[in-house]
A = this chain, B = another copy of it.
């Protein structure tokens, strides 16, 4: 369950890892090389923490492969999932928002590979690399938007709608087509879904069972496949576009 620090010296990272990712897409080969040479790559077992809420922010990361859950824990010990991060995105970008500690815990949902850089390089990145700042702040903006939407949903919607919405968002962000339908690309439990929607695993289970009977979804252990996204969308309370 603990993370395996496969630090430098390491295999030389290939430039193609970064060239297609928005924060780096405007950079030339030489710059990408520079960035890679400063990075430390690391593998994280599924379930292990990449960094912890409240800890001194020493590094910021890029998620090369795998999925990450960003989680907060209440004073009473309950978990709330704040965000899901798909591969290719930055995480732990505390310095971007003027923080010296991480505001939440990041947990690998699957085995995950990250690149990490010391936070002291952040100002250099922002200043030296064209488009890096812009793209990063776009990410921040998107996450703010997501959080906002979560707040609205929690404040106004029924449990059924919230769960439908969460699942739709997950398949949008990390869906994978299969012959059965669209599958969420990483393992997710009823418990996870309940922490995402502010309800209990029991209620989630009951709802998924009901939906399965109606043929909307097909679910198994830690797995959900959506067979009828359109019907889910109706349940989610979204206004059909007229």
- What per-residue 1/0 map shows which CB atoms of A160-197 lie under 8 Å from chain B? 00000000000000000000000000000000000101
- Are the C-beta atoms of B76 and A237 separated by less than 8 Å? yes
- Are the C-beta atoms of B239 and A148 separated by less than 8 Å? no
Is A141 interfacial (CB-CB < 8 Å)? yes
The CA-CA distance from A169 to B151 in the complex, in Å, is 17
Chain A residues 20-34 with CB under 8 Å of chain B are none
Cβ 8 A contact of A198, one of B74, B141, B145, B155:
B155
Q: How large is the interface on A (under 10, 10 to 19, 20 to 34, 35 or more residues)?
A: 35 or more
**CB-CB < 8 A to A156: which residues of B?**
74, 76, 78, 80, 198
- Are the C-beta atoms of A140 and B97 separated by less than 8 Å? yes
With A74-B156, A103-B144, A144-B144 already in contact, the answer to whether A151 and B97 are too (CB < 8 A) is no
Cβ 8 A contact of A154, one of B78, B97, B137, B155:
B155
Is A17 interfacial (CB-CB < 8 Å)? no
Is A96 interfacial (CB-CB < 8 Å)? yes
With A75-B238, A76-B237, A141-B99 already in contact, the answer to whether A104 and B155 are too (CB < 8 A) is no
**Copies of the polypeptide in the assembly:** 2
Cβ 8 A contact of A137, one of B82, B97, B134:
B97
The CA-CA distance from A97 to B237 in the complex, in Å, is 28
With A76-B156, A80-B156, A154-B151 already in contact, the answer to whether A97 and B198 are too (CB < 8 A) is no
- Are the C-beta atoms of A74 and B152 separated by less than 8 Å? yes
Cβ 8 A contact of A140, one of B135, B138, B140:
B140
- Are the C-beta atoms of B151 and A147 separated by less than 8 Å? yes
Is A150 interfacial (CB-CB < 8 Å)? yes
**CB-CB < 8 A to A139: which residues of B?**
98
Cβ 8 A contact of A98, one of B72, B94, B138:
B138
List 15 A-B residue pairs with CB atoms under 8 Å apart, sorted by A's residue number: A74-B152, A75-B239, A76-B156, A80-B156, A97-B144, A98-B134, A98-B138, A98-B141, A99-B138, A103-B144, A103-B148, A144-B144, A147-B147, A151-B154, A155-B197
